[in-house]
Amino acid sequence: LLSTTIVESGLDISSANTIIIHRADRFGLAQLYQLRGRVGRAKLRAYAYLTTAADTALSEVAEKRLKVLSDLDSLGAGFQLASHDLDIRGAGNLLGDEQSGHIREVGFELYQSMLEDAILAAKAGEMGLEKPSEDISPQITVDAPIMIPEDYVPDLAVRMALYRRLNQASDKAEIEGLAAEMIDRFGQLPQATQNLVRLIEIKHQAIAANIAKIDVGARGTLVTFHNDDFPDPAGLLAYVDKREGAVKLRPDMKLVVNRAWHDPQSRLNGLFQLTKGLSAIALRAKKREKAPA
């Protein structure tokens, strides 16, 4: 039988005892494990032959996959496979611009907190409830390295705790205090960690401005407000007018910034100034609402 990888979905031919996998270096670890499991389902001894191109050097990741697969030869190997696969691929960089690689750089507590926020938001949506502005967790997409590098803080538990404390910081003073503490304990902040601190500051300002999402692209930035609402629509229009075309407000209440920032630092600094201006307008409006008549 000559087949594609469709057989990994569960094709069961009990009499088959040999499988030859062409260019095994192009398959993922889980795929190889499933394909190998298609033979040897009866009493006959089975064989799985994994071939690679003779004139092509294997990548480091491919070598790791094949080595792991050759070592998994006992019952209960599925859990070991999952652990090895996680080590090889990583499980997601939630704070950076990548969507793959090393959940350990984020920390389980922060991941769990974000997951809980997402579940609560989904439930609130199903029940027709409005999420309070202080509970908004803005989604900010920006092409910049944002992390606490392992070579800066080698201890995993300490890195996780620092991520958690930064995420839970209540104001700018607390954020700056944490940054000063890191400098005191580990030395000057690397650029990626400076970016992380700046992103947390941007997030706080975005919450104050009722911003739900910010997308920074190659030619500009798109700002989405929570429930398409801004605390001071008139103030927002005045802000747009002062920018003389550099900032536009679309009919769907999305704000478009027609400016390209060409490096990570200018992107983050630009976002900081943008959210600072919008949050100032929103906070003034909230103060007027609270002022006695």
pTM for the predicted model, two decimal places: 0.56
What pLDDT is stored for residue 80 in this prediction? 54
User: pLDDT confidence of 99, banded at 50, 70, 90?
Assistant: very low
| Mean pLDDT of the region 24-29 | 80
What pLDDT is stored for residue 204 in this prediction? 92
The domain segmentation of the chain, as residue ranges, is 5-89, 103-290
- Tally Cβ neighbours within 10 Å of residue 163: 23
Second CATH level (architecture) for the domain 103-290: Alpha-Beta Complex (3.90)
| Mean pLDDT of the region 163-178 | 90
Query: Are 283 and 205 a contacting pair, CB within 8 Å?
Result: no
Q: Does residue 290 have a pLDDT over 50?
A: yes
Residues 236, 215, 174, 265, CA torsion sign: negative
Least confident of 12-21, 46-55, 190-199, 226-235: 12-21
CATH homologous superfamily for the domain 5-89:
P-loop containing nucleotide triphosphate hydrolases (3.40.50.300)
Q: Which long-range contacts (CB under 8 A, 24 or more apart) does 189-193 make?
A: 189/152, 190/149, 190/152, 191/145, 191/264, 191/265, 192/145, 192/146, 192/147, 192/148, 192/149, 193/147, 193/148, 193/149, 193/152
Mean pLDDT of the chain: 78
